[in-house]
Amino acid sequence: MKRSLSILSQVSFFLFLLSGCAENQRPMLPSVAGTAYDVLVVMPKYQWEGVLGDTMRSLLAYPIPYFPQREPILTLRHVPPDGFKGIFQTYRNVVIVSIGNQYDKSRLLLSRDVSAKTQLIYELQAPNQAGIIDLLVQNNEKIVNSILNTERLRTVELNRKYYDKNIHDKLLKNHSLTLAIPQGFAIQVDTGNFVWIEQMRGDNILGLLIWTYPYQDTLQLSKQALLAKRNEILRRNVPGKDPGSYMTTEKILDPLFDVNKLGNQVFYQLSGLWTVEKGFMGGPFINVTTVDHARKRIVTVDGFVFAPNQQKRNWLFQLEAIAYTLAFP
């Protein structure tokens, strides 16, 4: 079964969120609790520690395939039904398991904004455990993608509210594009067709690289062409610490490739590992490319994380959310 990590793998779902989320929120609801990409699972302890819990973890918290260390796509946290109260009721993402004779068939129910703004709650109902497992097998991709999309929307909206005006104005003035980049980043390099934006978090690095080049035809947008262009740009513009070293794409793991659509804009995404040729650095990256037809150019936003022995998922997904705010005035 294909497990897509694309930000827009459920396009209609994501567009529904964009258009209707703000309208449907109740104004007095509190903000959601919990950490981004966390999911609260409500079920009895014996189910969580048994076959049902194992099935849920394998289908909803599988390892991200292109990460150097094992990190789950979602983090599952358990609470028994009698503990689902107080702050737990405002948790950002919730999966409730309900098993009983009162259910004549298996159902997957989705609710939003029940106890908090942007809250997402899935309830799995079935007369027996086998019915719940069938629901998970049939709908795990839908559940994972909807939670990912909701989290990214939260990040996008937060970035748009607290974006760095200095970076925004420079990108608009010098490159005729906009990105909702949050405060804390700084432009390190701007050569005209290449921009390097970075945030340091201790010894860790969150990087955003932007480059543009003339658009000729759709052959430039194939996976092979985009990978070749990425390696060409990185070799010229992102040197390593040692003489002759430079950033490139790790060849051991073939990057994932997705084509996504948001509104009228088509995005081509690569996800994989970066490394340093003749060096020892590396980590995950996402690479999002689209065509600015008005200016007949291709624009790429490449996000990478360097955080040895640190969890990287939330940082990389934050960069991915930034990349999908790319727009042309």
User: pLDDT of 22-74, one tens digit each?
Assistant: 445 446 899 999 999 999 999 999 999 999 999 999 999 999 988 988 999 99
Sign of the CA dihedral with 4 first, then 33, 82, and 71 last: positive
- 5 within some domain: no
Q: Measure the CA–CA gap between 175 and 323, rounded to whole angstroms.
A: 15
* Residue ending a domain, choose from 160, 176, 199: 160
Shared-domain flag, residues 64 and 155: yes
Q: How many separate domains does the chain show?
A: 2
Residue pair 262/17 in contact (Cβ under 8 Å)? The answer is no
CATH number at residue 229: 3.40.1000
- Share above pLDDT 90 across residues of the chain, in percent, rounded to a whole number: 81
Can you state the percent helix, strand and coil of the chain, rounding each to 5? 35, 35, 30
Per residue in 204-233, pLDDT (tens digit) is 999 999 999 999 999 999 999 999 999 999
Last-in-domain residue among 116, 143, 160: 160
Looking at the structure, tell me whether residues 140 and 154 fall in a common domain: yes
Summarised one tens digit per residue, pLDDT across range 126-157 is 999 999 999 999 999 999 999 998 998 899 88
Which of 113, 128, 160 represents a domain boundary (last residue)? Answer: 160
Residue 208: name the closest of 288, 312, 275 by CA.
Answer: 288
Parallel, antiparallel or unpaired: strands 282-292 and 265-277 = antiparallel
92: domain range? Answer: 11-160
279 and 171, same structural domain?
yes
pLDDT of residue 27: 61
Q: Evaluate whether residue 186 is within a structural domain.
A: yes
* DSSP assignment letter at 307: -
Whether residue 248 contacts residue 227, with contact meaning beta carbons closer than 8 Å, is answered with: no
| pTM confidence score | 0.85
3-state secondary structure of 164: coil
Residue 103 belongs to domain with CATH number: 3.30.379
In a domain, 171, yes or no: yes
pLDDT above 50: residue 15: no
33, part of any domain: yes
pLDDT band, residue 10 (cuts 50/70/90) = very low
d(C-alpha 102, C-alpha 32), whole Å: 31
pLDDT category, 315, cuts 50, 70, 90?
very high
> Which tokens in the block code for residue 6?
């694309």
Whether 1 is covered by a domain: the verdict is: no
Question: Do 23 and 82 reside in the same domain of the chain?
Answer: yes
Shared domain for 196 and 136, answered yes or no, is no
Q: 149 with 227, same domain? A: no
What is the Cα–Cα distance from 34 to 37, expressed in whole angstroms? Answer: 9
